[in-house]
Amino acid sequence: MSYLIKPTGYKALLNLSQTEMGIKKIKDFFQQNLSSELRLRRVTAPLFVLKGMGINDDLNGVERALTFPIKDLNDAKAEIVHSLAKWKRLTLADYQIEKDYGIYTDMNAIRSDEELGNLHSLYVDQWDWERVMGPEERNVEFLKEIVRRIYAAMVRTEYLVYEMFPEIRPVLPQQIHFIHSEDLLQKYPTFTPKQREDAITKEYGAVFIIGIGCQLSNGEKHDGRAPDYDDWSTVAENGQVGLNGDLLVWDDVLNRSLELSSMGIRVDKEALLRQLALSHAEDRKELYFHQRLLNDELPLSIGGGIGQSRLCMFYLRKAHIGEIQSSIWPEEMRREAREAGMYLI
């Protein structure tokens, strides 16, 4: 079901021409900074993969991938990607990328089961990235180091926007705040996960929530995560569970938190088997991706995705992702958005 947030008195700061110019500058500048910060090489990504190989991202495990038959492969089914979380790790192996280096790509996807609104579209565009790491780096401190590098690129990009459009003043804090999802639950025990995200992000401006997918003390997860890419079940030295997380910033336009990135240290063999068992998905062990991982054919890695349209939406102070990208929206949403000052492309 679609849902539209209509900020009171909203008026776009930039016209269509300025918006398009800003989008290009932001995308060019940010991906160059991301590449430099993490030593990433750009590669070309697929729009679709063969069904039944375990390569496509299962997201929360309930979203349906769009499929179509391929005539020249005896009508074998292909799937439009949801993201490239597992494909990237295969590519690290096939390209023989060295430790401390990695890849990034422009990922375009279609998610037909998205609930359409200010932040969610049928069309998804991300920078998907993956970097080879060593076993000694499979810890929370290394995860935080990578997060800080990515966030530094975000802060620099916001200043570039300010130089282009002085009416858009920087709001990101210089440092990002880290908190584990269990500590967040203890801080706001009566809140829903979304309410907890809003409260902590409004307090600090930019937050990385660690431990997405693991079960918390109340018997629930902060949010769902597939069992076969992020490691959300490994117990750290401090007793906290999870080597992944979400990066959020406070959006003054929508008066709520905005998730810009999801990332994590990927599963090794032990974590994969443990998480498949916890998720009752042990049948996946026979799939192509999982077999290569279990046979030690894939490197240890850390990776994630960064929303391109959401990043531009935040920097350009837009109230709807449809002001950044062209997609399909319910006609009623288009009408209501236009009445509220949001002109959807």
CA-wise closest residue to 105 among 22, 42, 47: 42
Q: Out of 31, 35, 57, 137, pick the active-site residue.
A: 57
Q: How far apart are the first and last CA of the chain?
A: 21
259 is annotated as an active-site residue: yes
Question: Cα(156)–Cα(31) distance, rounded to whole angstroms?
Answer: 12
246 is annotated as an active-site residue: yes
182 is annotated as an active-site residue: no
Question: Cα(262)–Cα(202) distance, rounded to whole angstroms?
Answer: 19
Question: Cα(141)–Cα(243) distance, rounded to whole angstroms?
Answer: 9
CA distances (Å), 77 to each of 86, 291, 343, in order?
19, 21, 37
User: Where does the chain show beta strands of DSSP type E?
Assistant: 40-42, 48-50, 67-70, 76-80, 102-110, 123-132, 177-180, 206-210, 244-251, 256-265, 301-307
Q: Out of 259, 284, 291, 334, pick the active-site residue.
A: 259
Structure tokens at 139: 């810890």
Q: Out of 35, 121, 257, 262, pick the active-site residue.
A: 262
Helix residue spans in 174-287 (DSSP H):
181-187, 193-204, 269-278
Output the CA angle 8-176-272, nearest 5 degrees.
105
Q: Out of 31, 83, 121, 126, pick the active-site residue.
A: 126
Q: Out of 89, 111, 196, 225, pick the active-site residue.
A: 111
Question: Cα(130)–Cα(89) distance, rounded to whole angstroms?
Answer: 7
Structure tokens at 246: 């979400």
Q: Are strands 206-210 and 177-180 parallel, antiparallel or unpaired?
A: parallel
Q: Out of 223, 246, 251, 323, pick the active-site residue.
A: 246
- Cβ burial of 156 (10 Å; 0-12, 13-18, 19+) is middle
Active site residues: 57, 111, 126, 246, 259, 262
